[in-house]
Amino acid sequence: MSGGLAKGIAVVAVTCAATLGVYEWTITKSSRARISALDDQLQKSQADLSDCTKGRDVDREAHEKTASETAATLDASRAELDTLRADRAETEKRLAAFKSMTDKFRKMIDSGRLQVVLRHGRMVVKLPAGILFASGSADLSKEGQAAIAEVATILKQFPDRHFMVAGHTDNVPIVPPAAFKSNLELSTARALTVSRQLIGAGMAASRLVAAGYGEYEPARPNTSEAARQENRRIEIVLLPNLAELPPMPGDTPADAGAPAPSAAPAHSVAR
């Protein structure tokens, strides 16, 4: 193994660990501080309400007004505290899921074949296109086939989740006589190829959607060859279930037995 590759592998591993650690520390610290403040507010409200109801105040009207306001504050604080605790429980649940997936992919992460990151609240498995495809091609290499088969073995351990396979390229235009007219076509074809490979390895087709982004969602500005190389990638995105999303006003509850649909971006292609 070359020194450059070993260094890159180390950076990948440290980045994944740091992402989880910083995210978890920030969320946990913020939540605990807010919960502590609300606990203090609850205790003060309870003490004020107790004082009011003991009738220490000579002014009965003022006493009743204070008691009413304190009771309202107490109820609001309790509701906010319950919501915050539920949010923290959900955050910790997602962090546990992220850690579980990262642990399962540890061997591939340590070998530099992929990364597992959090982006926009979603878990994303990133595979460099250079490992999977030759330049300008949507045919998986032997190394790519082996990598996708290994990924499928792990993703099958999450049978209740939907995944989006997203193809991305750099911004270098495709020139004739290439097999594809644009980077958008190339990225879509690569996403379809990976999806077929995952299905062939045993993943349910109903749990997958393929999408091509071309050069329109770069990981880094295309200002250097290293950045363009990072932008040429396949991402497998863990999509949220509808049950994990807050309800919208007027929403009709989905059928209990129906699978939760997954939102697909522009450029998505039919399964």
Q: How many residues does the chain have?
A: 271
pLDDT in tens, 59-71: 566 666 766 777 7
Task: Identify which has the larger pLDDT, 211 or 72.
Answer: 211
How is residue 46 written in tokens?
């309870």
Q: Which helix (H) or strand (E) holds 167?
A: strand 162-168
Nearby residues of 207 by Cβ (< 8 Å), 6 or more positions away: 159, 161, 162, 163
Separation of alpha carbons 25 and 28, rounded Å: 5
pLDDT score, position 200:
96
How is residue 6 written in tokens?
């070993």
Q: In the chain, what are the domain boundaries?
A: 3-98, 105-243+260-269
pLDDT score, position 32:
65
pLDDT in tens, 166-217: 999 999 999 888 899 999 999 999 999 999 999 999 999 999 999 999 999 9
pLDDT in tens, 121-180: 788 999 999 999 999 999 999 999 999 999 999 999 888 889 999 999 999 999 888 899
What mean pLDDT is predicted for residues 73-97?
81
**Is 3.30.1330.60 the CATH number for 105-243+260-269?**
yes
Please, where are the H alpha helices in the chain? 3-53, 60-104, 106-110, 129-132, 142-155, 183-200, 225-231
Task: Identify which has the larger pLDDT, 71 or 258.
Answer: 71
**263: nearest Cα among 146, 168, 166, 149:** 166
Q: In what order do the strands lie in the sheet with 268-269?
A: 115-119, 122-128, 233-239, 162-168, 208-212, 268-269
Greatest CA separation for the chain: 93
Separation of alpha carbons 245 and 198, rounded Å: 27
- Would you say residue 92 has pLDDT above 70? yes
Q: Are 187 and 265 in contact (CB under 8 A)?
A: no
Separation of alpha carbons 145 and 2, rounded Å: 24
Separation of alpha carbons 4 and 16, rounded Å: 19
Provide, rounded to the nearest whole percent, the portion of the chain with pLDDT above 70. 65
- Would you say residue 48 has pLDDT above 70? no
